[in-house]
Each structure stands twice: as C-alpha cells, then as structure tokens.
Amino acid sequence: MDIRQLSHSTLSLLRSACLIGVVLFMTACSTGKMVVRGSQSIMDSGIEAMNRESDLQLARVAMPANLKLMEGMLLEDPDNLELLLYAAQGFYGYSYGFIETEDRARAGALYRRCYDYSKRALTLRGFEIDPETATPDGLRTAVAGAAKEDVPVLFWSASCLGKWVDMNRDSVSGIAGLSNVAILMQRVIELDETYYYAAAHLFFGVYYGGRAPMLGGDFALAEQHFQRAAEINDNKLLLVDLLHAEFLDRQQLDQQAFHQRLVGILEAPDDLYPQMALINGISKYKAALLLESEEDWF
C-alpha cells in the first residue's frame, strides 16, 4: 500500500469516527428515554402484579420504591404520558390504601403530587386548563370535545384533585374545586363508564351520598351509582360496599345496613377478585376500622 492509499484510508476512518461521534452526541440525551420506553412492558406487568398482591404488608413496603423508580424514569422522559398516569395512579393507591387513615396531612401532600402528575398528563393530551382553578363553564367547554382516549387523563386528574380536596376540607379554594371534579367525572361516565372498574360511579356514590340533601346530597342518586358500580364489577369489588357503608349508610343513619355491609366485606373470600386482590384487601382492612367506630356513629 503506498502513501496515498494510506492517507485515503486514514481519512475515511477519521470521517467515520467523526460521524459516529456526532451520532453519539446527538443520541446521548435520548438514551435515557430509550431505556425508559424499552422498560414500558415491564412497568405494565409490575402494575398488574401489584394489583394482584394479597399481602398488604408486602404491598405497603414495595410501593414506595416503585413510586421513586417511576419518578426517576420521569426525570429521563418527562413527557411520557403513560408513565405520568402510572405515577398518578401509584401515589393515589399508596395514599388511599396506607396513609390517609394514619396521617391526613401527609396523605394530602401525596395526593398533591398525584394531581401534579395527572395535570401534566392532561396538558399533554391538549387540555390547556387547570381543573383546580378553572371556572365550571370553562372546564365544561374544555372537556366537551374529549374523546374516549382522553378518559384516563380526565379520570386521574379528577381522582387526585378530589382526594386532595378531601384531605384539605378547610381550604375554600379546594372545596370550590370539588364541583370541577364532578364535571370531569361526569365526562368520564359519558365516554366510558366502565373505566378503572367503574370508579367514576363510585365517586358519584360518595359525592351524592356523603352529604345531607340540604347540602346537595341525593341519596337515591347515590344508590343508583353504587348499584351500577357493583353491576359492572359483578359484585366482586369490595370497595363498592365499603364506600356505600361509609358514606351512604352512615349519612342515612342506617346502622343495620352499615353493619351488614361491612361484615359481608370481612367474610368475602380472599380470592373473590384476583386481579383486584390488593384493593379488596385494603377494603377489608378499612371495613374492620369502620366497624370499630360503629358505636360512635349510631
């Protein structure tokens, strides 16, 4: 090989090395996103496995690590819609299942984080409005054109905001935002009433059942929503009976129905609804706590 061939070969190698360097530089910032998105199916399976967990202590210990993993993944891929919804769902479930009965202030902070993630997801879907501060008319207009594909962001935004309001009942702005939660949940029902185990119907069961009629409650309407949620879940989701007893039976001062419903939860088989074993286990735990306070309420 003569000197000209050597120079040409070396030049080609240099050009290739430069090209590779440019490509690596351009893709370095997206490597994290690639890893996150490549792990999406594992995350899906992890959520399913958690929902099927029947050991409450194991779930409680495992959930914080999973939540921090999701937050770390979101630092790499902040506009990952599915991951934002998983984070909202995770913080909601952890707070409701394990924190709010012990520390309402901490639960409020976690629900706030839950809402922040769901609101980011809402924005990614094109809804440039904050349900917490929007006027009711403005929010109705914003969600009027929502499609079935928007149901997850509408539902989790409503759920997280609603629970934050519940933990901050002394906040005037928070209570005012509850009507906007109802607007979002009504749109969820219109688009897909079965989404997330008919949880929008459960919301309205509590919304209308937990208040006296003079304050906007409607016991007949609450009963309809609870019955519809039970029907959609083939009477296997114990959370329906838990909320029915906690809010509607208590508000109606029906101790017999309250007691029988909660005892029925405790006596239900552990394998009643395998894909929702965790929430059924949490429902049993909370039913036992409610029964302990029965004599204080009736």
Residue 163 near residue 96 (C-beta atoms within 8 A): yes
Query: Letter for the amino acid at 49?
Result: A
Q: Could you report the per-residue pLDDT of 109-129, keeping only the tens digit for each?
A: 999 999 999 999 999 999 999
pLDDT of residue 209: 95
Q: Residue 213 in contact with residue 252, Cβ under 8 Å?
A: no
Q: Specify whether the CB–CB gap between 238 and 280 falls below 8 A.
A: yes
Residue type, 216: G
Which residue has tokens 């999406």? Answer: 40
pLDDT value at residue 17: 41
What's the pTM value of the predicted model, to 2 decimals?
0.86
d(C-alpha 151, C-alpha 154), whole Å:
5
Q: Which pLDDT belongs to residue 31?
A: 72
Identify the pLDDT of residue 39: 61
pLDDT at res. 262:
98
CATH class for domain 57-192? Answer: mainly alpha
Give the model confidence (pLDDT) of 195-236 as tens digits: 999 999 999 999 999 989 998 899 999 999 999 999 999 999
Compute the distance between CA of residue 231 and CA of residue 198 in angstroms, rounded to an integer.
Answer: 9
Please give the DSSP secondary-structure letter assigned to residue 275: G
Question: Taken in order 55, 238, 43, 85, is the CA torsion positive or negative?
Answer: negative
CA distance 140 to 187: 9
The pLDDT assigned to 215 comes to 86
Distance CA 14, CA 9 (A): 9
Quote the CA–CA distance of 192 and 252 in Å, as a whole number.
30
**Low-confidence residues of the chain, pLDDT below 50?**
1-28
Encoded tokens for 88: 């909202």
**Three-class DSSP category at 82:** helix
Cα–Cα dist 85/93, whole Å: 12
pLDDT at 46: 82
